[in-house]
Amino acid sequence: MENRDKLRRLVLDVFLLDPSEFRFDLRREEVQTWDSLGVVSLAVGVQETFGYHFTPEEATGIKSIQDIVDLLTARGVRFDN
Partner 1 sequence: MYTLTESDALRQPERLHEAWDRPETFAFISEKNEDVGEWVRRSLELLPPEIQEHHFALLTSGSTGQPKIIIGPKKRSEALVETLHELQDSHPVEQTILALPLSYSYAFVNQWLWSRRFHRHLIATRGFAQPDELGHALDSARNAMICLVGVQVPLLSRFFEGREFPGVIRVHFAGGRFPQEKLSVVASHFPEAQIFNNYGCAEAMPRLTLRKAEAADEATDIGQPLPGVELSTDETGQLVFRSRYGAVGIIDEKGFTPVTPEMWVGTGDLGAQTERGTWKLAGRASEVFKRHGEKVSLYLLLTAVHRAWHGQAAFYREADKSGEEGHVLALAPSPKEEDVRAILQVFRKDFARAHWPLRIESMGTLPLLPNGKVNAAGIPAVPDRQVHWQQRI
Query: Which residues contact partner 1 (rule: CB under 8 A)?
Result: 13-16, 18, 32-33, 35, 37-38, 40-42, 44-45, 48
Q: How far is CA 77 from CA 30, 32, 52, in A?
A: 26, 28, 9
Nearer to partner 1, 2 or 13 (CB): 13
CB of 21 to partner 1, least distance (A): 11
Candidates 72, 55, 56, 76; CA nearest to 10 is 72
Nearer to partner 1, 44 or 69 (CB): 44
Nearer to partner 1, 17 or 80 (CB): 17
CB of 33 to partner 1, least distance (A): 6
Maximum separation of any 2 CA atoms in the chain, in Å:
31
Distance CA 39, CA 28 (A): 10
